Structure 1
Amino acid sequence: MTRPLTIDDLYRFEIPADPSMSPDGERVAYTLTTQDAGNDRVVRSIWEVRGEGGPARRLTRGPADTAPRWSPDGTRLAFLRAGQLHLLPADGEEAVPLTTPADCPAGAGVPVWSPDGSRIAFAAPEAHRAVSAPVVIGALGWKADGAGLTASVRTQLFVVEVASGEVAQLTHDDRHVGPPSWSPDGTQLAYPAQTTPDGAVFGPSAAHVVGVGENASGPRRVGPADGLAGPVCWFPDGFALLVVGRVSFGVGHSELLRQPLDGSAPVSLSAALDRNVMGGGGPAYPGALPQFHGDDIVFCARDRGATRLYRVGADGISASPLPARTGVSGCSVVSKAGRAAVVVCDTERFAEVVLLDLDAWADGAPARPEWLTDHMTRSLPEIALHPVAEREFRIADGTVVHGMITRADGTPPGGPLLVDVHGGPHNAWAPHSDPVHLYHQELASRGWTVLTLNVRASDGYGEAYYTAAVGAWGETDEQDVLQPVAALVDEGLVDPERIALTGYSYGGYLSCWLSARTDLFAAVVPGGVLVDLRSMAGTSEEGHLIAEHEIGDPARMAELSPLSHADAVRAPTLVLHGGADDTCPVGQAEQWFHALRTRHVPAQLVVYPGSSHLFLLDGRPSHRKDYCRRLVDWVTTHTNH
């Protein structure tokens, strides 16, 4: 007997991520995220599953164990425990620390083994700022969401000798560097780095190379200085880098770029796909590092909202044999084994590890994935998720907007509707299961229809669609919400008097904007909001990027700010916001709440102390539960006519 998912079920979630396949292709290590209700925290530990199947087993106890990486000989796992590198023998003995707070006072980064297994490279902050120390700011990029004030501390490149534990710092630039990649011969490291000290967190960047050990040499840039470089790795011949990035900095798709080491112009390998390459994989933006399988490259890109796996080679680009409506959030390729371990989610499961036959895929033969884990079946065996139906809406100007409708089977027409707007603005809703927005499932159980829309600027529909709202936030995409809602009303599917609106981050922005543009919504719940683009420009970690590249025209900042139009708001509004949000600072929520209350609009502000912008993904379980519960209570109360 099955039952619907509820908000309280989040305490039982087990979510695998970040797979790492052993060099022989026989074992897959991964990070498993669970919830500790007693201590109100997220717990992460390292697990392992065999490629031939069998039950998964836990290798470490957590509570903060992440980023497992196999040594080249398969005898050890390097991983991060509370920010320090540890080594775990493959035979199951106790893990031992490799770095200490004395070596890495602010913690180490994801470990990257050298080809011979003698060294591990990583990127990490070069120093730790004392909490009480004065913060001296002389350049942009002085804070980061989740880390707080960073001042002049920059992320640098380090190498640790596995035998001795000796740590050496390789870069000393006044700019951030990204994760490293070893050259095939182990003599150099490639990495992305900012090209200007004042580039802030989101400024121009390029691929760089630095010599290591006996081949030590100063860092040198090998990509265009005014481009954008994300994750990098080496082509097997060692003469070029594979870079996820752009040849010019700005709003647009990331591509797979072949960057010759001689500094000549990079060549796009993915342009024909016209999709955004998801190179790193991160909170709310799933993906994986591109990896080689022979002469082919396996990589992730966003298509129709979902992150999918692709292969590019001499015969062009092909999609993986993973079933439709499947999303990818991690991938580890072992070319000589012809296998990839992939973390996927579908309409029934939040995330599981599967095994993919790369050779069969390359040959065009059937290659059904083999499911290796069953965490959701084990932790939530009685749960059945409400179905999600895809739908397309044609807007008056001819634009086609892709959306998803969640309704419980048997729900009669004419009930209430919740419209949910995603963040970004260059993120997207996907047509598979969602472990974050649990209020969708609970409202559907109460007879609601939930509509999620990939409005203009969403990812997965081509670069022209991706950039369609640049310089015109709210103006360009408001009809992408209003006209689909009108279509559902005309069809009799929903009650026009019982429509609620919510959204987080950019979705919070658009929720505030729409509540000032129409009286359609009986209740509004914006979360992680931005309402004043002018103050946002100087206080957000992304403010400079938004002002310069998303809006562009300073004269438009006030015009496109919901705060400038607050006089028109009438709908009861619940504002939900993290107290330690450095992406959309809490002052944005305070301004909106003040503007509404002084105009006698029914409003409430809820601040979650210590929570960053991404707390809905990995914050305190009690905060995530409270967010979902308050949203459900607010929209049901204010639409219960």
Structure 2
Amino acid sequence: MTGLIDPGVRDLRAAAEFTRVARFYQRWHGPAFGGVSGATSPSASPDGLAIAFTGEIRTGLEGHPRFRLCLADGNGIRRLTDPESQVNERNPQYSPDGRRIAFTSDRETPGVQQLTVADPVSGRLRDTPAVDGTVEYLQWSPDGTRILLGVAGLAADLAGGEGSGSVVRGDRAELPAWVPEVDSGISGDHWRGIWIYDLARDSVERVPATGLNVWESVWCGPDAVLAVTSTSPGEGAWYTADLRRIDLAGEAAELVHEPDGQLGWPAASPSGRRRAVVEARSSDRWVVAGDVVVLDTQRGTTVKIETGDVDVTHLQWLDESRLAFLGVRGLETVAGVHDAGSGQTTETWSSTATCGDRYPVASFLPDGSAAMVHSSYSVCPELAWLREGQVETVAGLGHGGADHVREVAGAVEPVHWTAPDGTEIQGLLCTPDGEGPFPLVVNVHGGPVWGWRNHWMLGGAYVRLLVSRGYAVLHPNPRGSSGRGQEFAGAVFGDPGGADTQDYLSGIDALVARGVADPERIGVTGASYGGYMAAWLITQDQRFAAAVPMAPVTDWYSQHYTSNIPFFDELLLADGPHGTAGRYRERSPVTFAGRVRTPTLLIAGTQDRCTPPGQAWEFHQALLLAGVPSTCVVYPGEGHGVRSFPALIDQGARLLDWFERYLPVSPGIPTPAGPPAQQEAP
């Protein structure tokens, strides 16, 4: 057993485990420092020869990476803007004629994205008039004369998948330490709206949409936009959003679809005659996977189209009739095209590898080819074309550090098992080299409506850390996960911590029976809903030797009154917070803290509005009162999940040490009593 750290120590920088984890990340990222090591937001050039994208650049293990406008073509990867600049650039989009790339930049004010237009050949930049807020997304008009801008007020909420907190972090650094945080409800800076930039006039104008908060929008013909809207800008209002056509000339906002569930990824044909949107049971904004609803204004029809059992995560009209889509089916990523004229759907690609970030996305051309960021657990991200069902690599982002971490992080395989009620459950299993049984860590995904995919960053960076140290890591996709249809996704609503509890436990049983997992060395972790389940499972079953819930919910009642998404817990629990009984009490881990015997490390961030840090603290205090070893670690400045260095190093060191302390890789080594449980202050 390696030297153990005192879990109550606030500053670990002198600890051997901290140094080991820092070396791991340095070995991983160091060879790529200063270069492009990650990619998001691909945009296909109309001629099919180049891919514009947002490149991720690190210069050290400090803070967040920088994001820059980049281009991949037959000559490799190049940056299109000043490589020495410290700005962040996002959202690249080729113009329809391929002569320009629109993107956003925070060059004027850090964190505030504004529109810039670039010439991809000369590199010449064209600044545009500022909008009131920060630009979150953009889209060229079909004729290339205007650009639609989705703009958020500076106090608007980030979605949980984006880290929670405000769109632009506050100005605390400029204020004395004694100045309080103040909240008085909704203000003008919380709203999201639409602006239009006119290239010929070099002017921007806000689209009037009085009383509507616009979460997503796209062009719907030359004179309107199709938008997902609500009557309040609060993050919880997204769960009740509808679909509207907003006229650019006036304030008309025609309601075109009221969903059964949540909406995402609106798309409209060039003329606006046909519209489409994904309708799904969802737990997070920007994390929407479900059925495709197509509205034909000429025929006056609204239909859910056939997608071959795919939960769709991306939509794009290729022309007036053909609708391209991407999505998930089980553990596969799938692409297809639906012809709205004939009603026929054609699957064009399926793979156990994937593309995109949280969910599959790509940038399609009219011929059906698509630009994507392709990866798997064993394939470092690469810019690639999907053509005629084949992935053609344009430029890989691999380097010596990526090669090393791939070599030490074992292998991944798909697994499936049967829950006690006969439901088949799928998952992905990462195992180190050598023969089992291994100590097993169950890594529960967030949402709960989301799903693990065979992705380069499967399960988070700490998964490769665990596997490199000899742990097997199971990534289950229980009921509630995407990729199995809306009935499967909806099975968790009204029953969180119910039937899905058995999905996890039966998965452990299956791996023990296979000889993969040692039943005496089982741990559990996860973030968000995964953090909730990591806390819940140890109240329901005594087999767990250690638990690390991250950004958890532990008390649904206090969650309702401190979170920025109180509507969601009512939706998930199918109950209300009032009264002394019901699911708010029956499904809260803190209610059953007296049952727990599992040593627990809780991790949270001070800026998390989705699952506030008080949730971790509440369960920690309950465990201490029950005599259970518990440590609570709250990272300043972090939101819904730890995302910046060196906090990631500290988190990795604490997580590894906790599991090594209570389920060591080498069996038979007695677990030390360790120091008494400590409280870790922010």
Same structural fold, with TM-score higher than 0.5 when normalized by the shorter chain? yes
| Match of residue 599, structure 1, among 618, 626, 633 | 626
Structure 1 residue aligned with 2:310: 275
- What are the superposed Cα offsets for residues 2-38 of structure 1, whole Å, 9 maximum, x if unpaired? xxx9444553572211111122222210011233326
Q: Answer yes or no: is 1:354 the counterpart of 2:375.
A: no
The aligned amino acid for 1:556 is R
Worse-matched range after superposition: 74-83 or 338-347: 338-347
8 Å contact from structure 2 (residues 283, 448) kept in 1 = no
Report 1:138-153 matches (<5 A).
145-147=165-167, 151-152=186-187, 153=190
Residue in 1 that maps onto 2:495: 472
Report deviation, 1:182: 2.1
1:627 aligns with 2:651: yes
What is the distance in 2 between the residues matched to 1:395 and 1:248? 23
Q: Give the match's secondary structure for 2:585.
A: coil
CA RMSD of aligned residues (A): 3.0
The correspondence for 2:605, drawn from 552, 575, 578, is 578
C-alpha distance in structure 1 between counterparts of 2:273 and 2:251, whole Å:
17
The letter for the 2-side match of 1:407 is T
Give the stretch that moved more between structures: 566-575 or 246-255: 246-255
Q: For the residues of structure 2 that align with 1:263 and 1:204, how far apart are their CA atoms? A: 27
Q: In structure 1, what is the equivalent of residue 217 of structure 2?
A: 180
Q: TM-score, normalised by structure 1?
A: 0.85
After TM superposition, list the pairs within 5 Å mapping 1:184-333 onto structure 2.
184=221, 186-194=222-230, 200-212=236-248, 215-216=249-250, 218-224=252-258, 228-245=262-279, 254-261=290-297, 264=300, 266-270=302-306, 273-279=308-314, 289-292=315-318, 295-313=321-339, 314=342, 316-328=344-356, 329-333=360-364
In structure 2, relative to structure 1, the CA distance for the partners of 1:246 and 1:196 (3 Å cut) is: farther
Query: Which deviates more, 223-232 or 111-120?
Result: 223-232
Does residue 1:526 correspond to 2:549, yes or no? yes
Correspondent of 1:107 among 126, 134, 142: 134
**1:155 aligned residue:** 192
1:112 deviation in Å? Answer: 1.5
Contact persistence 1:330–1:342 (CA under 8 A): yes
Q: 1:189 to 1:252 in 2, by over 3 A?
A: closer
Letter in 2 for 1:202: W
Match of 2:29 in 1: 11
- Superposed CA deviations along residues 141-187 of structure 1, whole A, max 9, x for unmatched, are xx964437782331011112224432211134333103332234x22
Distance in 2 between residues matched to 1:305 and 1:627, nearest whole Å: 29
Q: Give the conservation status (yes or no) of the 8 Å contact 1:322–1:369.
A: no
Are residues 109 and 415 of structure 1, via their aligned partners in 2, closer, same or farther at CA, if it must alter by over 3 Å?
closer
Look up the match of 1:54.
75
Q: Note if 1:403 corresponds to 2:427.
A: yes
Counterpart amino acid of residue 11 in structure 1: H
Deviation digits for residues 184-228 of structure 1, max 9, x if unmatched? 4x222222212567883323222222333xx55622222237764
Partner of 1:137: none
Cα distance in 2 for partners of 1:114, 1:121 equals 7
| From 103, 119, 127, the counterpart of 1:89 | 119
User: Does the 8 A contact of 1:67 with 1:80 survive in 2?
Assistant: yes
Q: Report the counterpart of residue 365 of structure 2 in structure 1.
A: 334
Mapping for residues 466-545 of structure 1, pairs under 5 Å: 466-545=489-568
1:345–1:351 Cα contact (<8 Å) kept: yes
Compute the displacement of 1:456 (Å): 1.5
* Aligned counterpart in structure 2 of residue 71 of structure 1, from 95, 102, 105: 95
Q: Which amino acid aligns with 1:404?
A: L
Write the distance in 2 (CA, Å) between the matches of 1:407 and 1:129: 43
How far residue 312 of structure 1 moved from its aligned partner, in angstroms, is: 2.2
Change over 3 Å in CA distance of 1:432–1:228 after alignment to 2: closer
Deviations 1:305-359 (A, max 9, x none): 4543222234743433354333444311121x553112221242242221122xx
Structure 2: distance between partners of 1:477 and 1:247: 16
By how many angstroms is 1:428 displaced? 1.2
Whole-angstrom distance in 2 between the partners of 1:249 and 1:338: 31
CA contact (8 A) 1:195 1:225 kept: no
Cα distance in 2 for partners of 1:495, 1:75 equals: 59
Following TM superposition, by how much is the alpha carbon of 1:111 offset from its aligned partner in structure 2, in angstroms? Answer: 2.0
1:298 shift after superposition: 1.4
1:463 counterpart = 2:486: yes
From 392, 413, 417, the equivalent of 2:416 is 392
Which moved further from structure 2: 247-256 or 488-497? 247-256
Give 1:237 deviation, angstroms.
4.6
* SS across alignment from 1:481: helix
| Residue 136 (structure 1) aligns with | none
Q: Percent identical across equivalent pairs?
A: 26
* Aligned residue type for 1:156: G
CA contact (8 A) 1:296 1:312 kept: yes
Instruction: Report if aligned partners of 2:449, 2:489 keep a CA contact under 8 Å in 1.
Output: yes
Report the Cα distance in structure 2 between the residues aligned to 1:475 and 1:605, rounded to whole angstroms: 26
Q: Which residue identity is paired with 2:396?
A: D
Q: Does the 8 Å contact 2:192/2:213 carry over to 1?
A: yes
Distance in 2 (alpha carbons) for counterparts of 1:413 and 1:248: 37
1:364 aligned partner: none
Partner of 1:171: 208
- State whether residues 164 and 607 of structure 2, in contact with CA within 8 Å, keep that contact through their aligned partners in structure 1: no
Structure 1 gaps of 5+ residues are 132-142, 280-288, 362-366
Contact 1:508 1:526 in 2 (8 A): yes
Q: SS of the counterpart of 2:564?
A: coil
Contact 2:333/2:351 (CA < 8 Å) preserved in 1? no
- Kept in 1, the 8 Å contact 2:326–2:334? The answer is yes
Amino acid across the alignment from 2:345: I
